[in-house]
Amino acid sequence: MYKKNTVFRLVQFQLALAFLLSSCVKDRDRGPAGEYERGVFIINEGSFNNSNGEISYYNKTTQSVTNKLFETVNKRPLGGDVVQSMSVIDNTGYIVCNNSNKIEVVNASTFESLGVIENLALPRYMIALNGKGYVSEWVSFSSNGRVAVIDLTSNTVLKTIEVGKLPEQLAIIDNKIYVANSGENFLSVINLSTETFEKNITVADAPSDFRIDSNVKLWVLCGGKKVYDNNPPDYIDEIASTAGSLVRLNPATQAVELTLAFASISSPEDLQINGQRSRLYYSYAGAVYTHDITSTTLSATPLIRRSFYGLGLDPVDDILYGAEASFSSDGKVIRFNTATGAPLDSINVTIGPNGFVFR
């Protein structure tokens, strides 16, 4: 149930911290109410079955970080067993706790608790439109997943819509929700007018991440299918497995316009896009690469030669955030210049950083 594409098994990653930067920012206990209106929320997944996931807040002006933000403000633990993701919608924050089967709701400016959304089954990601939230739920590792429809006034689940296996990110375009089913080779399309399943669109194996570019084209990052052999255990059968792909879909026609296959079966992950929505960023084979939306080939030259558990791209400052995670000790976030790939500074966070929300 970790952020990575653990389709057939749970793996607890421990990524070694390869170097220390002298410009690490210092922790502080807490800030005044309303402080969290401008900055970066850092999602710390926590270790599986330990309910120690949390949120950190990075103040870009003072270059300081507040760790365990939810507990600091609310005087109680978040109870986050795998904090999968976070969304901010109309100044309300929704913290998706995957293995806790809940979403904690907070005021995004003060981080004070506003309630809890329950009755979920392995929730993953959330988007919203017109007062309703839509949450992807795995439900289980073997059955079809679903999208929960949530009334954001009462924080209650109104209905669920069945999709494919292991649904991940969602995107809304032209009153339709596109759902990336990471256990399949297709996207599910939901009609928002009727809130019903409409169709599947075949893309490539294990779609997981979405980004919408300046031409309103939907880019889909597909991790590829991994087939494991038991001799030895956890050995990847390279012949039976498939490589990942970067796919461009035209939502106006719902047709795949471009499929760019990766060279190896290493899974590409963490698709990001810049503020101009003209350049994509992703992790692949232990490095970070970029892709201009006009290009019809994948770059062979990485921007950053190192591996991260999560990526984030500040759409205003155009600074790339890379998460280095451990699940037995605190993690670290390193910030990079996107023009040169040079490191700028680092941020000490808590266990298992996996993602970012920029305000």
Residue 307 lies in a domain: yes
Distance between CA atoms of residues 333 and 55, nearest Å:
13
Per-residue pLDDT, 237: 83
Of 232, 246, 233, the residue nearest 297 (C-alpha): 246
Residue 14 lies in a domain: no
Mean pLDDT of all residues in 234-241: 83
Residue 318: CATH number of its domain: 2.130.10.10
Per-residue pLDDT, 18: 33
Range of the domain at 62: 31-74+270-359
* 52, 83, 225, 259, 270 from 266: Cα distances, Å: 29, 25, 10, 17, 13
Mean pLDDT of all residues in 257-275: 97
Residue 246 lies in a domain: no
pLDDT tens digits for range 279-311: 999 999 999 999 999 999 999 999 999 999 999
Confidence (pTM) = 0.90
H or E stretch covering 70: helix 69-74
pLDDT tens digits for range 84-127: 999 999 999 999 999 999 999 999 999 999 999 999 999 999 99
pLDDT over threshold 60, residue 227? yes
Per-residue pLDDT, 3: 56
Distance between CA atoms of residues 87 and 244, nearest Å:
27
Dihedral sign for Cα atoms in the order 257, 187, 210, 216 = positive
Query: By the 8 A CB rule, do 54 and 354 touch?
Result: no
- pLDDT band per the 50, 70, 90 thresholds, residue 27: very low
Residue 255 lies in a domain: no
Residue 313 lies in a domain: yes
Residue 137 lies in a domain: no
Mean pLDDT of all residues in 252-272: 97
Residue 157 lies in a domain: no
Burial class, 225, CB count within 10 angstroms (exposed 0-12 / middle 13-18 / buried 19+)? buried
pLDDT tens digits for range 40-87: 999 999 999 999 999 999 999 999 999 999 999 999 999 999 999 999
Residue 61 lies in a domain: yes
Distance between CA atoms of residues 159 and 161, nearest Å:
7
| Backbone region of residue 156 per phi and psi (left: phi > 0; alpha: psi in -120 to 50; beta: other values) | beta
- Say how many domains are in the chain: 1
Residue carrying the six token digits 């500040």: 314
